[in-house]
Copies of this chain bind each other. A is one copy, B any other.
Amino acid sequence: MLVVMRHGAAPSEIERVVRTIEEMGYEARPMPGAQRTAVGLVGNDGRVDASRIEALPGVAQVIHVTQPYKQVSREWRPEDTIVTLAPGVRVGGPEVVIIAGPCSVESEEQIVTAAHQVRAAGAVALRGGAFKPRTSPYSFQGLGERGLELLAVARAETGLPIVTEAMDEAGAHLVAEVADCIQIGARNMQNYSLLRTVGRLGKPVLLKRGMAATVSDLLLAAEYILAEGNSQVILCERGVRSFDPAVRNMFDLTAIPIVHKLSHLPIIADPSHGTGLRDQVTPMARAAVAAGADGILVEVHPTPDRALSDGAQSLYPGQFAELVGELRPIVSAIGRTLTPVPARPAGTEPVAVGYG
């Protein structure tokens, strides 16, 4: 940490900064310059609270040299973390995963049909919400535990591992019993009690970036999970708040190469929430993969016009199949491959898509 003093700061002001740093248990190293003096804080272990120094008299600025996160950083662990969702479904290696399914679980027919459809087109995991965080208390809130049971049915029939969201501690325990990966939604990215809980549950976690989270905030949120001993974390870019009403969110794909540089954790992208409108999902899914995403999370619904939530951003099954076809050559252009679809469970039959 570097404390920059104002031009013309009094020696007594510099002395006070030095003393405060020493009181905090660190070494202070004053560096007089042509224009102004700076005081370095040596020995920063990531626990320094700069706040008390920031407003001392004569201080112009406090500059953080050390990153505030640790275990998530590439400096801590240079090799890529690979998260395993199911046998053969690994996130973070050379393969690119496609996770797809409806916004919400609505019925057995809906979720099982969707699972067959997305599997047939190339998805390797099924998404679908049982607990839904909705901006309005009057919107459809998901089927809850019944939704989890239906996801289990869909997995039994298709072999696809399940990714689904938990909104609180009680829910996280329920989700952990059924899901292969627990999703933490954007609104809960800084719900630290929930992050600690999923850190202790030991299951893979899909952590979505908050609406106003910087990349550093996202990594710090992941740090909460790793600090509990769980390093099976997949990050997810899903768009941030923007001033432009032309988009529901601003899809920040540059976060992908930045996360890859700063952290060993995999990062996927969600073009459905990242854009909010079907027309834009396909081009932005291609863009995410071209930017180096380790996978995509896409909303697909058997009949989007009848979806109970997020209909506007859900692809029709045919559109999704076309998208997967476009992704193949892009993935290969950057030296990667799509993860192969996992095997159907023993005893199940190939099902003609359409359900019943």
Interface residues of A (CB under 8 A from B): 2, 4, 6-8, 20, 23, 31, 33-36, 38, 40, 42-44, 46-47, 49-56, 61, 63, 65-66, 68-70, 75, 133-140, 167-171, 187-188, 190-194, 210-212, 214-217, 220, 223-224, 227, 240-247, 250-258, 261, 274-275, 277-280, 283-284, 286-292, 304-313, 326, 328-330, 332-334
Copies in the complex: 4
Question: Residues of B contacting A50 with CB < 8 Å?
Answer: 312
Q: Once bound together, how far apart are the Cα atoms of A331 and B106, in whole Å?
A: 38
Chain B residues near A245: list those with CB within 8 A.
214, 216, 245
Chain B residues lying within 8 Å of A287, measured Cβ to Cβ, are: 253, 287-288, 290-291
In the complex, residue of chain B having the shortest beta-carbon distance to the beta carbon of A292: B283
Given contacts A63-B2, A136-B220, contact A254 B254 (CB under 8 A): no
Instruction: List residues of chain B with CB within 8 A of the CB of A291.
Output: 283-284, 286-287
- Whether B241 lies near A243 (C-beta < 8 A) is yes
A251 CB contact (under 8 Å) in B215, B254, B330: B254
Check if A190 sits within 8 Å of B55, measured CB to CB.
Answer: no
Q: Report yes or no: B36 in contact with A65, Cβ–Cβ below 8 A.
A: yes
Q: Enumerate chain B residues within 8 angstroms of A49, measured Cβ to Cβ.
A: 139-140, 308-309, 311
A20 → B minimal CB distance (Å): 6
